[in-house]
Amino acid sequence: MDENAVGAISEVTAAATRVCAACGMCCNGVLFSHVVLQPTDVARTLRVRGLKLKSRGDGLHLYQPCPAHVGSCCTVYEQRPERCRVFNCRQIEELMTGKSSEVVALERIAHARKLADRVRELLRLAGDRREHKALATRFEMVLLPPLDTAPEAAAAREALVPAMQELEAVLLRDFRVALAGGQAEETAARGA
């Protein structure tokens, strides 16, 4: 490979690193609610690093927002789960293949983050304080009875449904990747 090609690849990789540093949505509970551990993942190492894993029907789950996501970095980067290693969202795929630019990716991230902040604010007004849970989980839980009947909470719940739909549409369009067979990846688990 010639020097120009190597330079172009390292510039794209650096751009992807900057884009992810400005985003964090595949770790902070906006895009996914959990990461399913794979046979190659060493659960003990992750536990030693302070991550809580829970056993579910399809294996061990690392729930999001991930406690290892600190200040836009992964504090267990060398030991991160396999699905974290292989996952690239649509933004990153398009950036790496030259279909998009860093500027466009950052604009889309800013837009999605604004919509996620709006959902968080409405959840707060609706009385939800479960900040340690993923956004989609909080959304489902706050709509379950018993409902807070205060007028402010009722108004927030009403506004929450279209706000969450708008966020999910943007995540589907700009971030989620297609699985084999043409389906979009499931919203709960990280990676295909």
Which positions lie near ligand SF4, rule CB under 6 A?
19-20, 23-27, 31, 35, 66, 68-69, 74, 76, 80-81, 84, 88-89, 91-92, 175
Structure tokens at 82: 């396999």
The distance of closest approach from Cβ of residue 135 to ligand SF4 in the complex, given in angstroms and rounded to an integer, is 13
Residue among 13 and 161 whose Cβ is closer to ligand SF4: 13
Question: In degrees to the nearest 10, what's the CA dihedral of 110, 182, 27, 171?
Answer: 20
H or E stretch including 84?
Answer: helix 82-86
H or E stretch including 69?
Answer: strand 69-70
Residue among 32 and 139 whose Cβ is closer to ligand SF4: 32
Residue 181 falls in which region: left (phi positive, over 0), alpha (psi -120 to 50) or beta: left
The distance of closest approach from Cβ of residue 5 to ligand SF4 in the complex, given in angstroms and rounded to an integer, is 24
The distance of closest approach from Cβ of residue 109 to ligand SF4 in the complex, given in angstroms and rounded to an integer, is 6
Tell me which amino acid residue 76 is: V
The distance of closest approach from Cβ of residue 81 to ligand SF4 in the complex, given in angstroms and rounded to an integer, is 6
Structure tokens at 79: 């030991």
Residue among 80 and 133 whose Cβ is closer to ligand SF4: 80
Residue among 15 and 126 whose Cβ is closer to ligand SF4: 15
* β-sheet bridge partners, residue 178: 184
